Structure 1
Amino acid sequence: MYLTRFSACGFRSLARIEDIPVSSPTILAGHNDGGKSAVLTALAFLLGDHRLTDEDRTYEQAEGSAGGRRCSSTSVEGDFRLDAMEQSSTGLPRTLRIRRISEEGQPAQWQYFGSRPADSRLHDMSRLLKGQLAELAAELSVSPDGPRRDDLLQALTAYAATAPQVEQWQPLPKELQERLPRLLPFGGKDERPDDAVRTALSSCYETYLEDETLQGRVKEIESEITQRLEKEADSLCRHIRQHCREFVGVQVKPEVSFKGGFKRAPWKSPRPTASRWTSPAPDRAATAGSLSRCGSGPATCSRTANLPRGGSDAEPTQTIVVYDEPDTHLDYRHQRTVMDIIRKQCALPHVSVVVATHSMNLIDGVDIADVVHLRLGDSGRTVVERLADESHEGIDFHLGQIASAVGLRNSVLLHERCFLAVEGPTEQQCLPLLFRLSQGLSLQAAGIALWACGNNEGALHLAGYLVKNRRTVMLMVDADSRTNKHFRTERLIKAGLDLDTQVTWIGEADGYNELEELFTDAQWATAANIHWTRPEGVQWTAEDFTAHRGGKFSAHVLTMIKEQAEHTSPDGKDDMLYGLVTTLKTREDVPRS
């Protein structure tokens, strides 16, 4: 059984979140207290590895009330994929919705959503005794093939399949409960190598106990120890009956299982450069960063945890490795090491990985579709943001590739306040300098991500993609680019851009056609005299540049400088304008248009 995504309701700050993917890997990003650890614990609750307490239940927020009462129902629901054996044994479809729900005052239980007879008498018939089955068969006029209980149950089951059905939540079969994915959780803040190793080896230990080649010997030993304990228990009971007559009927039935027999795996690792000043217990004296790296490594032994569970004909169950801030205490280089470890784990068959992290290095190391951004909304409840288009997965992948090609990393897509798309490399080189000179801070410090369209249709798709995902997007192009097929009005509207508030045509308000025209002729002359001197000390003047106004200014100026410069000349229009911008000194030198 494979978990592909899950949702939570009424769990801590997760009043209602949906569509958290379980991928290879999934990255949970966000600020502290945004809900990352709550999402991981909700996953553990779904898979049976967390016992719900009252503190886990979300506080209700009634209208006009300050709250204070916790919700009465907490549930975590997942989309699961069943293998052929699981489908055959249960008669259930390949994809199945399964939830673990805890109502107030009731123990948690697993349920699945599917068809069942509308007649409640036909529910859970396997629990009925022979007499009860016979009475039900008589009531429903069902004729079994024989008088045995199995005959009655088979006939009633066949009848139930043809009876009117309803779609509703119902108890999950025991055999599917035993096939739920395994969870291997690893912390990063205070994780000790001992604990990390024990977590990984415990999963392997449970797998080996279920290995058919070992089960016979294990059960034989369990039985022998049980018999010996029973003899000791009989002696104890006789002693109790003799001295405590109020317990004349006392009995003790020992139960022996190796299921929880693996207790600990102490970690010892002497330092290779030990000296007389080295601590006698080097594993305890290790730095927090070393412990974080060591705590991440043992999860690779989940390779051995992928043995079949539930019989030799069953496919291996899914192993979900969970990291809670594994990058804590790690420098940039060792963050990359942890990411390499995670990639190796994701390459293992039947292994998925979920990582809660602040590390931009980890966030940027995966596909943007696998990054889940968590933040607290105005109500104090966790809000999920995913930069994933609702269209076909292939389009999502294509857009992700475009974002990468234009230099927008995952961390930028998640955190920047505004995305400024410009026409080409000229603007991409010059705008950061102009912005810093004008505003006194960098584009990055202002939360602005700059990228060039490069006359690429895909870049316009990316702008639409960001708009659809509620990101602030601005497009800045030269006024004469209105004739460019990529920037026609109908295409901009189709991309979701508001022509009045999100698109700026450079120079159009002043009657200019392009960015280069916004700078004065005197500024051009100053830049030319600094960078592209004429022979024999002849100076460039403002009039040299005024002569080219009215036509394709930048092209004519570039030609003039190349023809008349003595030694050096610009490599192109982008190099020419960059040269001019570097000569500007004050905020007032920056054009206001």
Structure 2
Amino acid sequence: MYLIRFSACGFRSLARIEDVPVSSPTILAGHNDGGKSAVLTALAFLLGIHRLTDEDRTYEQTEGSVGGRCARTWVEGTFRLDAAEQAATGLSSTLRIRRISEQGQPPQWQYFGSRPADSRLHDLTRLLKGELAELVAEFSLSPAGPLKDDLLQALTAYAVTAPQVEQWQPLPKELQERLPRLLSFGGKDEKPDDAVRTALSSCYETYLEDETLQGRVREIETEITQRLEKEADSLCQHIRRHCREFVGVQVKPEVSFKGGFKRAPLEVSKADGEPVDLTRSGQGSNRRIALAVWEWTSNLLENSELAAAGEEGHAEPTQTIVVYDEPDTHLDYRHQRTVMDIIRKQCALPHVSVVVATHSMNLIDGVDIADVVHLRLSDSGRTIVERLMDESHEGIDFHLGQIASAVGLRNSVLLHERCFLAVEGPTEQQCLPLLFRLSQGLPLQAAGIALWACGNNEGALHLAGYLVKNRRTVMLMVDADSRTNKHFRTERLIKAGLDPDTQVTWIGEADGFNELEELFTDAQWATAANTHWPRPADTQWTAEDFAAHRGGKFSARVLTMIKEQAEHTSPDGKDDMLYGLVTTLTTREDVPAQLRDAFSDLQALAS
């Protein structure tokens, strides 16, 4: 069972939030006290990890005053069921499941689905034989025999055919057992001991399910402890490699069968044998040790998937959701990048999802901007979720600007983009974002690339030169016929600080063309023209119509032809004409090969 997204109501500052995605990864960004930790805790409540208290319930607000706490708190998720789960329960592939707590009542899991309108046909397995017999008689059923199982089978079959209603109902136990596992690595003050315990608890749960241990109550504590010690030894070796100043690293798991996995205190020492008191050492040391634990956890998750894949007839692995709360705090830039590498490695596993609450623009830049959730407090002190709704280039920039402002950045592009693409004018500005996303599978911003349209050749060169002087990575992309422009002579490019061979892309030159428009095939132009600027009835644009204009100023001649021959509408200009063509492209292969190669080089430059 895989969690796709979740919503919450009446949980701390989350009066009502909807559709927080669980992706690979999801990034939660926003001001301090904006609700990031509340969202993570709500997820833990949904999965049965967090124990709800009265303090978790949202204060109800009425006009002019603040009332008591709300009486109902719930967190609802949209889940995907695998084939085995569907077969066992008879439910559809997508299911709404919530965990709800009414005031004074224990929390319970429910799912939304159809059930008989007659409440007497609910929870038939709980009825006694006499009660089942009375219902069989009332509904005039003919069971296969007089046994309780026969009566139950007849009533169950009848319940399916009875009038149904859609409503919330108790979640079957077999699905409760298949809820995703949650590995939660705490906030900025997390202790290394806690990180170790979280990492090893996954091993512990696995061993408790080992059939060879069933019935061995008196021996199980010793055996699990020994197994965990082996896992801990591997972890200690990894910490020593990661933090070389600590020569002695030792973990001593303590297991209680009744109380579960209790503790795994971490002991470290320096080269001279002097023990290190981690409670009094710097935050940087603690966080680097925790970082080593998280990295080791990635290997553990990968190994667990390989083990599951090797079993015949196994169900899909249970989804594991790894949660990080500000993992980059107290880490320098190099270790921040290590955090992102760990997250990427975990996200590459099919059964693993990752949710990260962070202020770091390094982490925010490393994912598709559509997977970033911006959290902010309203004037009433309640958390509001902002998601990217407009996927245009301007919409992405606006959304990114909101996030940058929340973490204290003003000139967001100049401060955090890793590569700048300087182009000549509006044609490239409108079309390149669409072409890049189609070619590379992500927006320019998610790749860390800022697009600048400079209005003319001189402006593009001036901007590129300015950025190079400020030690920024730059790529200049101009039409091949701009080589004749005095601003783009080799000596002028070198003087501006650009390498003509690696930092300048001459669009079209590799194929013997002069401009961007020529890279697209005659057939693509005909398709675009028939879609956007059709000729009079019974007359179609053909590839030959556009082939006739190859050789001079292709774009100008094509624009004139379309304006003269289109029946009702025609492009407003060159930029509008090429944009119309680009919107008709649907696959990566539709993007000209020269542009695909240039985009790949650009993405590599940005990374």
The equivalences for 1:290-305 within 5 A come to 290-299=285-294, 300=297, 301-303=300-302
Pick closer, same or farther for the CA change 1:219–1:182 going to 2, 3 Å: farther
- Deviation track 1:245-292 (CA, whole Å, cap 9, x = no partner) reads xxxxxxxxxxx99363321111122223x48xx5x3344443211212
TM-superposed CA distance for 1:138, in Å, is 1.2
> 1:458 — aligned with what?
431
Deviation at 1:453, TM superposition (A): 6.2
Please identify which structure carries the higher strand content: 2
Residue deviations 1:142-169 (CA, integer Å, cap 9, x gap): 2211111111111000000111111111
Secondary structure of the corresponding residue to residue 294 of structure 1: helix
Unaligned runs of 5+ in 2: 222-254, 436-441, 444-451, 460-481, 498-607
CA distance in 2, matches of 1:168, 1:20: 23
In structure 2, the partner of 1:76 is 75
Q: TM-score if structure 1 supplies the norm length?
A: 0.62
Residue aligned with 2:60, SS = coil
Residue equivalent to 2:376: 375
Q: 1:20 deviation in Å?
A: 0.9
Question: How far does residue 378 in structure 1 lie from its aligned partner after superposition?
Answer: 1.9
Tell me, yes or no, if structure 1 residue 142 matches structure 2 residue 141.
yes
Q: What does residue range 404-419 of structure 1 map to in structure 2 within 5 Å? A: 412=401, 414-415=403-404
Is the CA contact 1:209–1:218 (under 8 Å) kept in the aligned structure 2? no
Distance 1:311 1:414 in 2: 47
Going from structure 1 to structure 2, the CA distance change for 1:161 and 1:283 (only over 3 Å counts) comes to same
The answer to whether structure 1 residue 32 and structure 2 residue 5 are counterparts is: no
Paired residue for 1:45?
45
CA deviation profile, 1:380-404 (whole Å, cap 9, x unmatched)? 1111112244xxxxxx6xx68x999
Q: TM-score, normalised by structure 2?
A: 0.61
> Whole-Å Cα distance in 1 between the matches of residues 4 and 388 of structure 2?
18
Structure 2 equivalent of residue 471 of structure 1: none
Distance 1:201 1:572 in 2: 56
The 5 Å alignment of 1:568-587 reads: none
Q: How does 1:81-100 map to 2 (within 5 A)?
A: 81-100=80-99
Moved more, 142-151 or 340-349: 340-349
SS at match of 1:67: strand
1:146-545 equivalent positions in 2, closer than 5 A? 146-215=145-214, 217=216, 258=257, 260-272=259-271, 274=272, 280-299=275-294, 300=297, 301-303=300-302, 313-389=314-390, 412=401, 414-415=403-404, 454=424, 455-456=427-428, 457-458=430-431
For 2:173 and 2:493, how far apart are their aligned partners in 1? Answer: 73
1:13, distance to aligned residue in structure 2 (A)? 0.7
Task: Return the offset for 1:220.
Answer: 8.4
- Which string of whole-angstrom CA distances, capped at 9 and with x for unpartnered residues, describes residues 292-317 of structure 1? 23223324134456566999733221
Check whether the contact 2:77–2:97 (CA below 8 A) recurs between aligned residues: yes
Q: Distance in 2 between matches of 1:154 and 1:178?
A: 25
* Distance (whole Å) between structure 2 residues aligned to residue 79 and residue 184 of structure 1: 20
What is the aligned partner in structure 2 of residue 579 from structure 1?
none
Query: 1-side partners of 2:352 and 2:106: how far apart?
Result: 30
CA distance in 2, matches of 1:220, 1:368: 51
Paired residues, number: 420
Equivalent position SS for 1:17:
strand
Percent of residue pairs identical = 68
Which residue does the alignment assign to 1:119?
118
Q: Cα gap change, 1:166/1:297 in structure 2, threshold over 3 Å: closer, same or farther?
A: farther
Q: C-alpha distance in 2, partners of 1:185/1:333?
A: 23
Structure 1 distance, partners of 2:348, 2:86, is 26
**112 and 149 in structure 1: CA distance in 2 versus 1, 3 angstrom threshold:** same
Change in 2 beyond 3 A, CA 1:123/1:311:
farther
**1:120 Cα deviation after fit:** 0.9
Please state whether the residue corresponding to 2:66 is helix, strand or coil: coil
Q: State the match for 1:2 in structure 2.
A: 2
In structure 2, C-alpha distance between the alignment counterparts of 1:562 and 1:139, rounded to whole Å: 92
Structure 1 residue 199: Cα displacement: 1.3
Task: Please give the alpha-carbon distance, in whole angstroms, between the structure 1 residues aligned to 2:142 and 2:69.
Answer: 51
Runs of 5+ in structure 1 lacking a partner? 223-255, 390-395, 418-440, 467-474, 482-513, 517-554, 576-593
- Tell whether the 8 Å contact from 1:188 to 1:292 is kept in structure 2 after alignment: no
Q: Determine the C-alpha separation between the residues in 2 that align with 1:185 and 1:562.
A: 54
**Aligned equivalents of 1:181, 1:259: Cα separation in 2:** 23
Per-residue CA shift, 1:95-136, capped at 9, x if unaligned? 111000111221111000111111111111111111111111
Is the deviation greater in 212-221 or in 330-339?
A: 212-221
Q: Is the 8 A contact 2:404 2:412 kept in 1?
A: no
The one-letter code matched in structure 2 to 1:122 is: L
Counterpart secondary structure, 1:68: strand
Q: Distance in 2 between matches of 1:34 and 1:77?
A: 21
Tell me the distance in 1 between the aligned counterparts of 2:276 and 2:190.
17
Task: In structure 2, give the amino acid aligned to 1:458.
Answer: C
Distance across 2 between alignment mates of 1:332 and 1:21: 27
SS state of the match for residue 19, structure 1?
A: strand
**Preserved CA contact (<8 Å) 1:316 1:350:** yes
> Secondary structure of the equivalent of 2:366?
coil
Which amino acid is 1:30 matched to? G
| SS of residue paired to 1:339 | helix
Q: 1:375 to 1:213 in 2, by over 3 A?
A: same
Q: How far does residue 216 in structure 1 lie from its aligned partner after superposition?
A: 5.2
Change in 2 beyond 3 A, CA 1:107/1:444: closer
The structure-2 alpha-carbon separation of the partners of 1:562 and 1:122, relative to structure 1 and needing over 3 Å to count, comes to closer
Task: Indicate the RMSD between aligned Cα atoms, in angstroms.
Answer: 4.3
Q: CA deviation at 1:569?
A: 8.0
Aligned 8 A contact 2:256 2:262 in 1: no
Amino acid at match of 1:332: Y
What is the CA distance between 1:442 and its match in structure 2? 9.1
Deviations 1:13-55 (A, max 9, x none): 1111111111111111111000000000000000000111111
- Work out whether residues 115 and 164 of structure 2, in 8 Å CA contact, stay in contact via their aligned partners in 1: yes
Counterparts of 1:192 and 1:77, CA distance in 2: 31
